[in-house]
Structure 1
């Protein structure tokens, strides 16, 4: 399969040290099978950094690796309380990161208002069930792939 990473630059070599912590699945390299989602991310990154140009980096990935025992893989097939708790843990500044040891995590993208919604949940303003609903991506369910280790990154082939 082909996976896409939206950026404001061409990425010749993936460098996990440049990844930001406290994202949905932790500090890692994120990709999507949805090219339009990657394009939106590329445009967003370009507008944030005010440099570069929207760039879609493409990688070949053999998805059968997700069932291979040589990698630690976690899959969330839909929005769920388990997914919301995992996102909550990875985005919590009070929890030492990384807070898991998965090589690859696959699951839904959280809506952009995730920080606000997590704060509401932590203060008891909304239930976990409401949190799951609030975090659903407003443009419909879109999945992301998180590659968090050098072993996982080695499974991507730049196109």
Structure 2
């Protein structure tokens, strides 16, 4: 399968030390299964940094690796309580990081709208069941792929 990474420059070799902590699935290299999503993120990153040009780097990951490799992989097919708790834990700056030992995590993105709902839950404004219900009825589900170890990155081939 093809996976896409959007940035303000082409990525020849992912470097985990350049990844920011406290992201949805932790500090790692993030990819999208969709070109448009990656391109939108590239534009956002370029605007944020005020440097470079939007660039989408394409990588290949063999499908069977998800099923047959020795990698520790966590897959969230949809918004659920486990996903919400996982994202909150990874974003928690008071918690020891890394918050998990997975090589790859696949699941929904917590974009701005989702982040707002997570904040409402954290502040006690809504219950977990209400949070999940609202997320499931929001506009669309966007998936992301997180690669958090050098071992996981070794399976990615730049195209």
Q: TM-score, normalised by structure 1?
A: 0.93
Q: CA separation in 1, counterparts of 2:25 and 2:31?
A: 12
Q: Please report the RMSD computed on the Cα atoms of aligned residues, expressed in angstroms.
A: 1.7
Size of the alignment, in residue pairs?
A: 159
* Mean CA deviation greater in 130-139 or 3-12: 130-139
1:74-98 Cα deviation digits (max 9, x unpaired): 0001111111111111111111110
Q: Tell me by how many angstroms 1:120 deviates.
A: 2.4
Is the CA contact (8 Å cut-off) linking 2:4 and 2:32 kept in structure 1? yes
Matched, 1:127 2:139: no
Distance of aligned partners of 1:150 and 1:136 in 2 relative to their CA distance in 1, 3 Å threshold: farther
Is the CA contact (8 Å cut-off) linking 1:118 and 1:131 kept in structure 2? yes
Q: Tell me by how many angstroms 1:133 deviates.
A: 4.4
Q: CA separation in 2, counterparts of 1:93 and 1:131?
A: 21
Q: TM-score, normalised by structure 2?
A: 0.93
Match of 1:16 in 2: 16
Is the CA contact (8 Å cut-off) linking 2:84 and 2:118 kept in structure 1? no
Where does the alignment leave 5 or more consecutive residues of structure 1 unmatched? none
Counting only pairs closer than 5 Å after superposition, residues 74-89 of structure 1 correspond to structure 2 as: 74-89=74-89
Is the CA contact (8 Å cut-off) linking 2:32 and 2:144 kept in structure 1? yes
